[in-house]
Amino acid sequence: MTAQKAITGARIFDGLFWHDGQALLLDGGTITGILPQSDLPAGTETVPADGQLLVPGFIDLQVNGGGGVMLNDRQDADAIRTICAAHAKFGTTALLPTLITDTFEIRARTIAGGRQAKVENVPGFLGLHLEGPHLSVARKGAHDPALIRPMDQADLDALLDCAGDFDAIMVTVAPENTTASQVSAMAKAGIIVSLGHTDAGYKTVVEYAKAGARTVTHLFNAMSPLGHREPGVVGAALDIGSLHAGIIADGFHADPVSMGIALRAKNGPGRIFIVTDAMSTIGSDQTSFLLNGREIFRKGGRLTLADGTLAGADIDMLASVRFAHEKLDLPLDEALRMASAYPADAAGIAARKGRLLPGLDADFVLLTEGLDMASTWIGGTRVFQA
């Protein structure tokens, strides 16, 4: 009995090129290749996908919750499973459940829950994103200022201790509360250090990038802006080629004009990639929820505190891809790269995920020609069918 399976009849985007009249061949959870259907090995199981688009699975490096669950409220493996399953319905095949600024104890429980999720091989679970608490109060956004604090040795030790436990782990910090030497220690241990919620200037970002910071968290939001005399974090993110930058593509966190300018201005090889910054509302009918004891309201596609401060986003990855394609006037293949190949590059997992190439994980999404969901596949297994 063969483990080989082929998805046939779809137009395939492998992350680089489109393929027509071809089939995606899988061997268990791994991609074998893209080849003419007439060349499929004898005995291959075929899955018809006529008229659909077959694209790399989406990778979301900033997901605070989903399915009615916030990671800040529940840190166990079942909570992580619920979050991953909620986002799989919208094409996300790998994600980093994200803990917003909280206590040392909650962070420890999150790491323990993540380790258990890894043991249980929760579909879609990539690792963790710890956003804070070592941020700038001046750029706190919806983070609780009472919980923001400098990174001390116990914090650093806790992070270094779990550095090798996940496929990827990201930590968002601000130079105001984290030293360059701490960033260097985390980067050397394999942690993706992201700069965010900071009022730092350009020269400081250059210093921290040299120390090992690799990404910038939700470009434009909660950071010093691009000015004519001080380029700020925004200017640094666009100018420094080694930095990647996440961006929330919902039309509320950044104006489409500003997003388009940033995409045209970004120096490489680092790229701008899509994150959702999604909260528990995705895949639920919630109209409000609590974050660190404060109520977040859901209305008109926005999530806000009572004072109107944006508090995460109410958008999924497929909707973000549509926004990038339709509102930013990006070619579909580039919008898809922003949700798959580019976050894979930023997270250092491109040898396994982000493209549909031989030897990589069989994580992919089938879409209708109108960019609606058809099905989601993780490791060669269909985990969602519309």
Residues with a known catalytic role: 277
For residues 287 and 296, is the Cβ–Cβ distance under 8 A? no
Q: How far is CA 259 from CA 301, 323, 334, in A?
A: 18, 11, 14
Q: How many CB atoms lie within 10 A of CB 95?
A: 29
Determine the Cα–Cα distance for residues 80 and 66; give it in Å rounded to an integer. Answer: 9
Question: Beta 22-27 vs 4-8: how paired, if at all?
Answer: antiparallel
Q: How many CB atoms lie within 10 A of CB 28?
A: 12
Determine the Cα–Cα distance for residues 214 and 244; give it in Å rounded to an integer. Answer: 6
Sign of CA dihedral 346, 303, 99, 376: negative
**Structure tokens that stand for 365 in this block:** 């999404």
The whole-angstrom distance between residue 247's C-alpha and the CA centroid of its chain comes to: 10
